[in-house]
Amino acid sequence: MAELRWHPLIQDWVMINSNRQNRPQMPKDWCPFCPGSGKVPDDYEVLKYDNDFPALSQNPPQPDDVANDFFKVRPSYGKCEVILYSPGHHTTLKELSDEHMRKLVDLWAERYADISKDENIKYVFIFENRGSMVGTSMPHPHGQIYGYSVIPKKLQLELQSAQEYRKEKGNCLFCDMLKAEQDFGKRIVFENDSFTVFLPFFTEYPYGIYVFSKRHISHITQMTDKEKTDFGITLKQIVGMFDTMFDKEFPYMMCMHNAPVNSGDVEEDFHFHVEFFPPLRSANQQKFNASSETGAWAHCNPRCPEETAAELREAYDRYKNSL
């Protein structure tokens, strides 16, 4: 079973893929992403790897015979790739050189451009799940890319909000948001020539930072040579900051928000950014999405953003001083 099913209450498609339930547990002494496994080259730095158990496929099976006048289904068309950050099984982003990080950014941009060529793909989502707390079963450093045949609901809402804001104000919603954060200052964590890292005014997670490009670009392939280098360094420093926060590997979900593809002219309205969703609210406490967050989408942040931004700045300073 692999198909998309329509959720009429929220007007969104849900991926149904029971085949992923059959993913095997990897032996503790073997990793398919390590050189010598027979699954990857013996010599690589960063690598695109087609997902062995994809939720989406460019040759999807026919949906199950469960549709009728009310229940809608469509094929689970799309693309699922794994992006390997390093051949080192326990290597973390903060340990990679600036040059290595640049190669990773180049690979992300290359894959974004290539997947976008498929006109049936409407959104290319680059992301990383880090740590067992967010369900990662494979410790080898990696992220993923999904190419969806529909624009996911959250991205629809972001684009709609930006379009409405431009119609009302004549400006980019994201650019004005970044300026407001910079003017206020207290939630800025760090920045460089190309990117600003901050804890948003409205953040749902105690350490849920955003990364905004200072220049208005809509997707990763529009970055200049310097911006690509700065982007890799920014992500590396974020991971170093997070790990320094509680002196342990910090779990997170990293989500890159590029503009939708093959969906008309949206580049003026959409602004490239990255959202982090770390599930910790302190060194030993997890921030759960309970009934209010899950059932009503009514988020509650148990920490004050201005206070946690100060904690992040202190962790960033400690990380930088340790280099």
Query: Which residues form the catalytic set?
Result: 142
User: DSSP code of 222?
Assistant: G
Return the closest-CA partner of residue 272 out of 166, 159, 121, 150: 159
Q: What are phi and psi of 242, to 5 degrees?
A: -60, -45
Buried b (16+ CB within 10 A) or exposed e, 19-41: eeeeeeeeeeeebebeeeeeebe
Contact by Cβ (8 Å): 256, 144: no
Q: Give the DSSP per-residue string, 159-199.
A: HHHHHHHHHHHSS-HHHHHHHHHHHH-TTEEEE-SSEEEE-
Please give the single-letter amino acid code of residue 200. P
Report d(CA 294, CA 292) in Å as an integer: 6
Taking each helix axis from N to C end, the angle separating 225-245 and 305-322, rounded to the nearest 10 degrees, works out to 100
Return the closest-CA partner of residue 6 out of 56, 76, 73, 68: 73
- At 283, list the tokens: 């060194």
Q: What are phi and psi of 276, to 5 degrees?
A: -110, 140
Contact by Cβ (8 Å): 301, 203: yes
Please give the single-letter amino acid code of residue 64. D
Return the closest-CA partner of residue 80 out of 57, 59, 97, 62: 57
